[in-house]
Structures are given as C-alpha cells and as structure tokens.
C-alpha cells in the first residue's frame, strides 16, 4: 500500500513538532515538511524542562506547527494516508496534547491513527535518510535515554545495555550546569571543549565490564570535584574541563560499543552487513561521532548517523515510524493511552 504520506506529531518533551513524510514504493523516505518549534527560552531560566510549562506551550504551539507543515507540504488532511503521534515515553502532559490532537485529525478526516513509541522513532530514524535496513546495532543517546539495542526488525528490539544512573545527554546537561554554562548543556559543552585540551584526569566508568551498560553519575561527580578544586574557574579551566569530560565520554562509548558489537555479532547470521547506527540528541556531538567512527572502522561496520536535525527530537521520525507501522497494517484505536514510561 505504498507510497504512504503521513503527518507526524511530537510533543513528548520540549520540542513542539509536526512533519509530513512519505514512504515511497521502493521503501525509501522523503521529508516533505519538517517543522520544529523549540521551547528553549521558556525553560532555560529553570535549567531544565518544566513539565507543566511544556504541556501548556505545546497547546499554544502545536496547531500553528501543524498548519505550517501542511502548508509547506501543500496538502490537505484529506490527502494523508494516516496520522501518527508520539504516545510516549515522555512528559505525560505534553504527550496527551499531541496524542489527542493526532486522534482528532485522524477521526475528523477518517484516516488511520498510529501511536508511535518515541524511542522506536529514534531507532528507525536512520532509515529515513539512509538506506539502512534491520538488523543493525543501535546506540540511542538522548536526554532521557542511553541504550545499546539490536534492531531486529520494525517492532522487534533486543536491549543489550542501558545506563545504571544518568542518561548521557543528562550527564552533558548536568556537566554544563555545574560549570555555569547554558541549557541544554550538550551543545555548550561541545563548543567550550573545542577551545580546550583534555588534560584533566577523569574516570572512565564501566570500561572493560562484560555487559555493555553505562554509568555516568561518577563521571559527573569527578568533574564537580575537579571544578571545585580550580574555583574560581577561568575560561581556560572551563574549556579544559569540557574537553576532558568529552574525551572521557568518547572513551567510554568506544569501549561499550565494542562490547555490544561482540554480542550483536553472536546474534546475527554470518552474512549480515554489519551496521552501527547512532540516534538521539547526543549523536549530534562531534567527539561522539568521531569515537563511533573509530570503532566502526576498527570492526568493519558501516556507521550511519542521521543529520543533526534528525538526531534531536523532531516529528519527521514520528511520521516515518508511523509509516513503517502503517505499511505493516499496525494501527491504533482512539482508546490508546499516552504513556510516561514505555520501554522499547
Ligand atoms: O533526543 P533529544 O533531542 O531529546 C530527548 O532527550 O529525547 O536529546 C536532547 C539531549 C540533551 O541532553 C542535549 O544536551 C543533548 O541531547 N545534546 C548534545 C548535543 N546536542 C544535543 N549532547 C552533546 N553534544 C551535542 N552537540
Ligand atoms: Zn528524543
């Protein structure tokens, strides 16, 4: 039943997003419109996302975002083959705004509705811009999640590793906060790191452990101690602390992904083309990308990282995951609830 054209809606955190995506008959994807309205200025003063503020802002921002996406696509709702929304995991107030809006549009124009898992959307996002097909090894690193997952097929995932405490993006955000940088922290830490050198000794938690799990709280604590020992911090100190933090993250990721590759290769047939995919907001980080490039080259994997705009939260990935599900006849009914927690 391809091609399929879907409207996707994403409101599970602090981006209000609407997009139109096409699944072509040959299985490839096309982004027809991709609108993201960040709420950063609303939350920056609090150093993090305030759920109630986010939910109310989604109410204000979503309708114009949808109208803009449909106008850019030059489509009416009646031209769509389906409507998809992130039904979780995420901040439940925001999830309900997007989910209810998507249901209303689907109901109003008699189109199928697809409830998408936000993590599944990140996991499948590389297929939208690159010719990647399961099975592949996925590193999903965002503000809320740090997972190494085997994507067996659409709807079939095996988690190999996760974080025992903070998510990687959360670690970047906390590092930025304790160094007095802006929110979200990742891009700021990366900018400062570019001006410094990784000269400050920081731990590499979990390195060498057999299970490819992560632990990041200790790294953050060590960074705080190194920062306190240097207070008041000069710009030079901040740059070196950021560079050292990023270097430690790069080493940990390289080690953990190598271990996950061992487990991945045990699971797939010998003729599988080995592919490593990175997704989630932290995959926008240049140092992380280069670390992944090193492991991929060493182990003969093709590395696929979506462009930065598709790594951070967006609705194109929701529409794309919705199209994959719809193509397989997987639709949802109007009673589908939003879910704050929803493991892959
Ligand atoms: O996937 P995402 O947009 O939202 C979810 O958490 O679902 O990821 C946001 C996270 C934030 O923690 C942010 O600090 C981090 O991704 N991030 C980065 C970079 N850009 C965004 N972390 C490191 N380096 C970056 N360039
Ligand atoms: Zn996300």
* Residue 104 belongs to a domain: yes
Ligand positioned closest to the Cα atom of 288? 1
Number of domains in the chain: 2
204 has pLDDT over 80 = yes
* Residue 139 belongs to a domain: yes
109 has pLDDT over 80 = yes
Task: Tell me the average pLDDT across 284-304.
Answer: 96
- What pTM did the predictor assign? 0.93
Parent domain of 218: 134-305
Question: Residues 144, 287: one domain?
Answer: yes
Is 184 near ligand 1, meaning CB less than 6 Å away? Answer: yes
**Closest C-alpha among 217, 210, 204 to residue 160:** 210
Question: Residues 260, 152: one domain?
Answer: yes
Q: Which of 142, 292, 321 has most ligand 1 atoms within 8 Å of its beta carbon, as the pocket-test mutant?
A: 142
* Residue 338 belongs to a domain: no
Task: Tell me the average pLDDT across 276-294.
Answer: 95
The reported pLDDT for the residue numbered 183 is 83
What is the distance, to the nearest Å, from the Cα of residue 223 to the centroid of all Cα atoms in its chain?
A: 25
Ligand positioned closest to the Cα atom of 36? 1
44-81 pLDDT, tens digit each: 888 788 999 999 999 999 999 999 999 999 999 999 99
Question: Residues 166, 280: one domain?
Answer: yes
The reported pLDDT for the residue numbered 42 is 86
Question: Residues 150, 96: one domain?
Answer: no
Is 278 near ligand 1, meaning CB less than 6 Å away? Answer: no
Beta bridge partners of 83: 7, 113
Packed helices 92-109 and 51-73: angle between N→C axes, nearest 10 degrees: 30
* Residue 334 belongs to a domain: no
163-191 pLDDT, tens digit each: 999 999 999 999 999 999 988 899 999 99
According to DSSP, residue 214 is labeled B
232 has pLDDT over 80 = yes
Q: Give yes or no for a contact between 222 and 204, defined as CB atoms under 8 angstroms apart.
A: no
The reported pLDDT for the residue numbered 4 is 98
**Closest C-alpha among 178, 171, 170 to residue 226:** 178
Q: Can you tell me the distance from the alpha carbon of 342 to that of 321, in angstroms, rounded to the nearest whole number?
A: 16
Q: Which atom of ligand 1 is nearest to the CA of 144?
A: 6
Is 143 near ligand 1, meaning CB less than 6 Å away? Answer: yes
The reported pLDDT for the residue numbered 108 is 97
Average pLDDT of the chain to the nearest whole number: 96
Task: Tell me the average pLDDT across 324-343.
Answer: 96
Count of beta carbons in the 10 Å neighbourhood of residue 1: 10
The reported pLDDT for the residue numbered 144 is 87
41 has pLDDT over 90 = no
Q: Which of 184, 279, 290 has most ligand 1 atoms within 8 Å of its beta carbon, as the pocket-test mutant?
A: 184
The reported pLDDT for the residue numbered 272 is 95
The reported pLDDT for the residue numbered 40 is 79
Is the ipTM here above 0.95?
A: yes
Question: Residues 121, 146: one domain?
Answer: no
Give CA separation, 110 vs 1, 78, 80, 193, 344, in Å: 17, 8, 10, 51, 29
Binding residue numbers for substrate: 140-144, 173, 186, 190, 285
146 has pLDDT over 90 = yes
* Residue 343 belongs to a domain: no
The mean-pLDDT minimum among 38-42, 155-159, 208-212, 288-292 falls in: 38-42
CATH number assigned to the domain comprising residue 30: 3.30.420.40
For residue 132 the two structure tokens come to 């990647």
């Amino acid at each position: 039943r391809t091609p399929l054209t879907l409207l996707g809606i994403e409101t599970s955190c602090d981006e209000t997003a609407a997009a139109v995506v096409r699944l072509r008959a040959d299985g490839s994807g096309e982004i027809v419109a991709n609108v993201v309205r960040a709420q950063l200025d609303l939350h920056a003063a609090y150093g993090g996302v305030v759920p109630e503020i986010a939910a109310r802002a989604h109410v204000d921002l979503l309708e114009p975002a949808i109208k803009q996406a449909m106008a850019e696509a030059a489509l009416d709702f009646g031209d769509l083959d389906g409507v998809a929304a992130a039904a979780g995991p995420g901040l439940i107030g925001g999830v309900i705004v997007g989910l209810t809006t998507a249901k209303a549009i689907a109901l109003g124009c008699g189109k199928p509705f697809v409830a998408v898992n936000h993590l599944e959307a990140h996991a499948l996002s590389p297929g939208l811009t690159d010719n990647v097909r399961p099975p592949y090894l996925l590193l999903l690193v965002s503000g809320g999640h740090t997972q190494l997952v085997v994507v067996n097929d659409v709807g079939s995932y095996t988690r190999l590793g996760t974080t025992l405490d903070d998510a990687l993006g959360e670690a970047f955000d906390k590092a930025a906060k304790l160094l007095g940088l802006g929110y979200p922290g990742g891009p700021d830490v990366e900018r400062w790191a570019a001006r410094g050198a990784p000269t400050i000794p920081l731990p590499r938690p979990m390195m060498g452990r057999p299970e490819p799990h992560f632990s990041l709280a200790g790294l953050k604590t060590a960074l705080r101690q190194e920062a306190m020992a240097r207070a008041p911090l000069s710009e030079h100190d901040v740059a070196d602390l950021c560079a050292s933090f990023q270097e430690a993250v790069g080493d940990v990721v390289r080690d953990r992904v190598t271990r996950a590759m061992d487990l991945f290769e045990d699971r797939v047939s010998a003729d599988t083309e080995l592919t490593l995919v990175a997704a989630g907001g932290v995959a926008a980080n240049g140092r992380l990308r280069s670390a992944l490039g090193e492991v991929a080259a060493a182990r003969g994997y093709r590395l696929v990282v979506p462009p930065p705009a598709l790594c951070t939260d967006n609705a194109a990935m929701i529409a794309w995951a919705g199209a994959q599900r719809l193509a397989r006849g997987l639709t949802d009914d109007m009673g589908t609830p939003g879910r704050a927690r929803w493991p892959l």
